[in-house]
Amino acid sequence: MRSKPIGIFDSGAGGLSIWKEINALMPYESTLYISDAKYAPYGSKGADVILKRSIVNTETLIGKGAKIIVVACNTATTNAISYLRKRYKIPFIGIEPAIKPAALSSATDSIGILATKGTLSSALFHETSKRYSRDKTVIEQEGKGIVELIESGQLHSNEMKKLLEKYLTPMLNNNIDCLVLGCTHYHFLTPILKQLLPKNVNVIDSCKAIARQTKIVLEKSKLLNENETKAEHVFYTNGSREVMANLMDWDQSIIHKLY
Ligand code: DGL
């Protein structure tokens, strides 16, 4: 069981930001990655659709031998992970917007959160936000259109820059000094955001923390691969192989078509 792969899924290529950290931290772990891009964006879909897609992805990964599943998507985590944990026996790791570290480190007591509509409207997000940011100003912003631009290969477009400027303006007017990236796709925006934001604003995402948490759970569950053998990585998408490959600077031949 220890040599089986870690299963990872997202509505698209966003979860590769987590895959990258998992691979860096645990180079001997094999992985299976599903980009469910045909159904992206999850963020504007109803909770029932997000749950259904999460079940399909989970069952595909289990069917291909995954020993643990990383839900590399804030929208799927906040809407579906409690159901998945009840229904399936294997461990699940999820990702939620990093409100706690942002609230703890903010000197201006004002933080911005960029996330999908599906995440911002979820009960889990409300709970976390209430718990950690009670005495802070929190500017929530739906990143409408961002995932679509990334999934259509327009990460570096003018349209993206304009959208981001629009979304950041109310946050900067409220003097934020932390910007939480509440969607795994947004990690790829980091270099652009750093150009648009003043130097005192920290951009926070949870990718490294999720990789560490995955390792802890694998260790506790006695699932961590102890052999220093070459890891195998298989990537699947039901969307564009080219877009996914370009984001990571890969050759698209390593990405397989999925249903
Ligand atoms: N990457 C996802 C997230 O972390 C999903 C975005 C979407 O499909 O709307 O929320």
pLDDT digits (tens, 9 = 90+) for 24-43: 999 999 999 999 999 999 99
Cα 229 to averaged position of ligand 1 atoms, centre (Å)? 33
Rounded Cα distance, 226 and 224, in Å: 6
Nearest atom, ligand 1, residue 42 CA: 8
Rounded Cα distance, 228 and 230, in Å: 7
Cα 238 to averaged position of ligand 1 atoms, centre (Å)? 16
pLDDT tens per residue across span 47-92 = 999 999 999 999 999 999 999 999 999 999 999 999 999 999 999 9
Whether residue 15 has pLDDT greater than 80: yes
Query: Two tokens at 170?
Result: 């109310």
Q: Which amino acid is at 117?
A: K
pTM of the model: 0.96
pLDDT at 134: 87
Asked if residue 122 has its Cβ within 6 Å of ligand 1, the reply is: no
Helices 16-25/241-248 angle, 10° precision:
50
Whether residue 259 has pLDDT greater than 90: no
Asked if residue 147 has its Cβ within 6 Å of ligand 1, the reply is: yes
Structural domains of the chain in order of their starting residue, each with its CATH number: 6-95+208-257 (3.40.50.1860), 99-205 (3.40.50.1860)
Helices 123-132/74-87 angle, 10° precision:
110
Cα 13 to averaged position of ligand 1 atoms, centre (Å)? 9
pLDDT tens per residue across span 98-119 = 999 999 999 999 999 999 999 9
Rounded Cα distance, 9 and 88, in Å: 15
Instruction: Considering the candidates 73, 139, 147, 168, report the single residue annotated as catalytic.
Output: 73
Nearest atom, ligand 1, residue 10 CA: 1
Question: Does 183 qualify as catalytic in the annotation?
Answer: yes
Helices 16-25/207-220 angle, 10° precision:
50
What is the rounded average pLDDT of the residues 153-180? 97
Could you give phi then psi for residue 114, rounded to 5 degrees?
-105, 120
